[in-house]
Amino acid sequence: MLESSVKFILLEALRKIFGTNIRAIIPQLALSAGTMIACACESIIMGKQSSLGPIDPLLDGKPAHGIIEEFQKAYEEIKDDPNKIPLWQPIIANYDPTLIGECLKAVKWANDMVAEWLSSGMFKNYRDKNQRIGRIIMELADHSLTLSHARHISAEQCRSIGLRVEKLEENKDLQDAVLSLHHTCLHTLSATNAYKIIENHLGTAYIKQAQIVPIRG
C-alpha cells in the first residue's frame, strides 16, 4: 500500500506540471497500481507482449474482493444452515472485526480514483464518457470477471473494453527507444543493488539501492 501511495503522489505531481498531457508506455507489465496510473493518462502505448491488470485492491496481500466474497458466502451458508457455524467460525475468527469495512472502502476508493482520472484525462472531451468509464471500471475492478489480481490483460483486450491504446509497433523508432531503455533498466536492476530508477528529461536521476548488511557467523 505504501509503494502504491508513493506512485500516486508522483502521478499527481506530474499532472500538476503537464496536466493530462501524459502517455503511459508499457513495454511489458503495469499491474494493479500501474494499471491505475496508466488510466490517468491521455493514452496508453502497449506492445504485443504488454499487459495491464485488474485494479482490485489488496489488504495485507489478500484481495479485498475475495475477503468480501468469503464473508458473503459464510453469511449465506449459515443463514441457510446454522449447522455450518462451526465450519466457518475458525475462518472468520482470523479476520479483524473492521476488515470488511476496510475492504469495502478500499474497493470504492480504487474505483472512484480511476473513474475520476479517466473522466479528467482520457475521456475528458467525450460526451459518452460516463458509459465508457462505467464499462472500464466493471472490466478492471469486478472480481467476478477478472477472477485474479494477477491476471494479465493484453493490449487488444484493453482496446476492446474502451481504453485508448496506441500500438508500440506502429512507431519503429519509438519501439527501438522504449525497448532499449527497458532492457537497460532490466539489466541494471538484475545486476546491481538498484531496485528503483527515476530519471527526468534533463538526465537527472534518482536511484534507490538496497543496502547489503554483512552478517558474521
pLDDT digits (tens, 9 = 90+) for 86-117: 999 998 888 888 999 999 999 999 999 999 99
- Count how many domains the chain has: 2
* Shared domain check, 73 and 36: yes
* Shared domain check, 210 and 125: no
**Measured between alpha carbons, how far is 163 from 138 in angstroms, rounded to an integer?**
13
- Please give the backbone phi and psi of residue 208, each rounded to the nearest 5 degrees, phi first: -100, 130
* Shared domain check, 123 and 87: yes
**CA end-to-end distance (rounded Å), the chain:** 35
What is the reported pLDDT for 144?
67
* Shared domain check, 83 and 26: yes
Can you give the residue range of the structural domain that contains 10?
Answer: 2-169
* Shared domain check, 11 and 67: yes
Do 32 and 53 touch, CB atoms closer than 8 A?
Answer: yes
pTM over 0.75: yes
User: Mean pLDDT throughout 18-33?
Assistant: 89
The pLDDT tens digits of the residues spanning 156-214 come to 999 999 999 999 999 999 999 999 999 999 999 999 999 888 888 888 988 989 887 77
* Shared domain check, 153 and 61: yes
